Structure formats: structure tokens, C-alpha cells
Homo-oligomer: A and B are copies of this chain.
Amino acid sequence: MNLPPLTQSFVLHFGEMGSRWGINRTVGQIYALLYVSEAPLCADQIVEALGISRSNVSMSLRELQAWNLVLLRHLPDDRRDFFTTPDDVWQILRTLAEERKKREIDPTLSVLREILMQEPDSPEERFGQERMAEMHALIERLTTWYDDVKQLDTGRLALLLGLGAGITRLLDAKDRIVGLGRRKPGSGEGRR
């Protein structure tokens, strides 16, 4: 590996964390390298920088493309593919959230749905199914919220984030103003 010190720390860290994030070491390192590089890099430059095999780079770039985490660039009169990451960290965040949902949540949701459609054939099964229903309801709630929030433009999203828990003050204020009915605060359940 042949990198300046700060870059190297960053790249090595992404490599180590890779497994916790559901990608592997090489994929993590390549992503980190592209992220901190000003100009797009081609496969051989990555081989050079990280000291890994050409084929590993090829596979890993393919994986990063499957995650939609890299962009393809071309130079005039050069057949090689060059890769970068998007500039906007908010965009990266959105992609990451989307892909992780797709891989880590959606399959479970669909398994749960399938199980919930079946008839349990013992009291134990019935109990278990009820627990699964609770889990399903919670995940549905979260993904619905996520689907909503991801539509927001970055400005509003940042605003919301900045507000933090302060949002409840706003909710309280709203309840006071709107007053009647629409929703009981603090009831915890009920809706949908």
C-alpha cells in the first residue's frame, strides 16, 4: 500500500469497518480511496495505491456499482473506466440508506408478511405469530416514515435534523393551537 499517511489511516479504517458494514475489506478500502481522491481513478491506479490484485479490484468495483456508491467517468481518447464517488455527502447518505433498506429490511418484511398469512396450528404458533405481527407493524411504521422523509429536499431534511427532539415542543404547540381531537398526544399506540 502506497498512500500518504492521513489517506492511509482513512483507507485502512474503512477496510476494517467493512465487515461490520456488510461489505468486505477491499470494497471498503476502494470506496474510501475514491472518496478522498480529487480526480477519478482507474482500476490500475487502485491496484497501485492499495497493493491488491487486479481481479480483486475489478470484482470490488462491480460490487460498489451494485451498491450505487460510485460514478463512472471517461476521459477523451481513453477507453479506461474511471471511478469517483458523488460529491454530495447527503446524496451518499440517501444511497446508503436505500441500499441497506433493500438488503437488510425488505427481505425480512416479505418473510414476515408471508408467515402472517398462514394459519398457526398450535397455541405456541399463535403466540409466535402475534410476536411476529408486532415486529412487522413496527418495521412497517419505520419504513413508511423513511419513505416519507426521503422525499424531502436536503434543506428541509437538514432543518429537521437540526431541530432534533425540539420537534416535540412544536408538536405540543400545534396540539395547543389546533386543540380539538385530531390525535391524542402520548397515547403510544393507535393509528393506521
Contact = CB atoms under 8 A, between A and B. Distances in A.
A1 interface: no
Determine how many copies of this chain the complex contains.
Answer: 2
A6 B155 CA distance: 45
The bracket for how many chain A residues form the interface is 35 or more
Contacts of A147: 164
Nearest to A174: B170
Interface string A148-167: 11011111101111111111
A144 interface: yes
Given A90-B138, A156-B186, A161-B141, A174 B173 contact: yes
A107 to B, nearest CB: 7
Contact of A89 (B7, B135, B174): B135
Interface string A8-48: 01100100010111100000000000011110000000000
B191 A162 contact: yes
